[in-house]
Structure 1
Amino acid sequence: MFALRANPMNLLAEAHGASVDELVAAGAERPEAARMVSLAETYLGRTPYTRMQADCARGIEANGHSLGVVELIEHLASRVADQRHKWRLRLTLCQSSGTLDELERLGRSLLDELKKQPERTEGISITRHDDKTWSARLTGDAALIAEICGAFTDKEAPVRAMHEALTTGAGVTTTLRPVVVVELDKLYQVLDGTRDETVFRCTDGVVRSSTQVLKLLIDEDDWDFALIHPLEGPVDLVRTKRTANLKQRILAAAENPTCAWDGCKKPADECQVHHLVAWQNGGHTTSSNLATCCAYHNGVNDDNPNAPPRRGALARIGGKVRRVWRP
């Protein structure tokens, strides 16, 4: 009996296809027969997750898991509603070695992680308020939500604009601006970054503007090109068809597509342009001193270097913008 329980896949293969009544007739107790039929169907029956099912079987055999371990895994998996997450839990435990107690602790920690990250399903939820207004919450693919909402974010009446687009059949479109990032050789010396174009001393000794440097590096086309220095960070944005409209904001977004504060996912289009060295403290409005930052983190940033440190401050370290804390 113990030898059979030590090789559960062989035992489940013998039981696969049999009914509970047939196993009872063979001498099993009904609760035990029901568990055996359920396990055999899970690990050998039909499922959309055939690859994970096969990997589970291989993990059970490779780690020498007993029938008791498989029953424990199913007990833990029964607490997960989503089938994909259920199979991922099974697979992790089947492929892990350890005693019954160790696997139970691992399984419970995995369940705790699943509780922290609830499954988000696509849909729309509506909250009806008492003041004759409603709120709608969209959940779905990030690109789709960005395309739907991005076109109306800056409108004076975004809800009315969205309603007009949907009811008139105009649809929703989002225009993205492609920006090519050109990394400069660190031997390029920045001579002046305060004027309309940054001025460099190049490795051949010649002083050139951003546009002149760019024309040496690329073919001319109608694109935006960000020049990013490996030590000083973004230094200029050049368009091959000359314009400086929103130049510094576009360059800041090219370096940090989301808020530069660690962990913040606010897209650059919804961020403010933040001075790393505050304007009132002598900071210049040059690209190397700018970064995208959401309104909240811009407000809590420790701008005053003489004030007691609170939340940290954005700074350029080694050419990259990151949050630092003063001692």
Structure 2
Amino acid sequence: MNGRQILNLFTTSGVTILRDVYQCSPHDLAGGLMSLNTARKYTRLATVFFGPADSPKVQRDAVTLAEARQLSLEYLEMVNKHAKKLTTRGVAWKLRAELIAFEGTFEEVEAYAKKRVMEEGGDKPKQRGVRLGRVVDGLRTISITDTQRRITDLEKTLDAGIKHDEGQPRSEALLEPFWDLVEGTGTGLIKPEYRTVIAIGLNDFAKVSCGKGKDVVVALSDGTTMTGAEFINAAMEGSLGDKLYVGLFHPTAGPVNLYEARFASGKLRTLAMAENLVCPWPDCNVPADRCQVHHIDAHKHGGHTKPSNLTMLCKYHNGVNNDDPDGQRNKRRPGKPKRGKPNRGRMRRHRGKVRLHTPGGKLVSNSHDLSSMGAMDLI
């Protein structure tokens, strides 16, 4: 049995594993290969699915279906993570059963679970405020929660004060500019001027311009959103600058041209940012304002510097992208271990949109909220 077969057996036996784990103490499970915390996590999950419940029939039916569908431990853990937020008697088990029966990928089921929990009032919205952690090894942590606009403006202010050192982690680089701002020795909070790209479709722009776009929400390349009313207010305050840039996009070919731009390099970057407001690599959340321009077909392999061959990638994913045209890296003879960098896949343009082409041949989009609000999604 090879590694993939072992993994397949493990991921299709969630109920079988929990049924046996229910009879065990976490101290019996824990050992050289499993930590006590992991053992406790599994025994708690087993108690949910096989222990006493406020809806025993729903529980039995849900467990039977989960076993028939060969759901994994990870899947059942995800189901329980969301369902346990509902505290009304019987409601949590009703949702567990609903999620176990739901057809879709793991990510689709999780997105649906979040939506259902919100509908049932189980998830409380985050509260604005400042939170201070306890002292650990002589250090303390401060956490600030506020509107996306205020925090992003703060981030831009701190970014402007960074003394660039390629080897320094970003979190460390932001620390001294933060204290300069707090102590009054910095530049003061930067009022944003939107050279950040604002992606808005022509129809929505017409509504907003006529004062009828209060319900319109547009996405920005700094990772935030704004309403139609905020868009108009920014224009009235002069935050949008004195020049309007209009990008033209083709539904299947992608970016075509940018009008009213002065320099070709800036033009191409702006088009790429308008298309992808965050790095398009799956699960990445780095806004386009902090990304690098990436040639989809590498320049060294004959790729042209034209709108349809460019996208935005964060520094990390720009580095791990496989630029080889055949999608291969580290070719090896059978039985020989791979050396060097692993093949993570490469960005491709498919039906007009930029997606990750995995080594296994799948085309995967970023699921970040702003990934579906760029220019190509507005036409």
TM-score range, shorter-chain basis? 0.3 to 0.5
More strand by percentage: 1
Which of 1 and 2 has higher RCO (CA within 8 Å, sep 6+)?
2
- What TM-score comes out, normalization by structure 1 length? 0.48
Q: Which has the higher Rg, Structure 1 or Structure 2?
A: 1
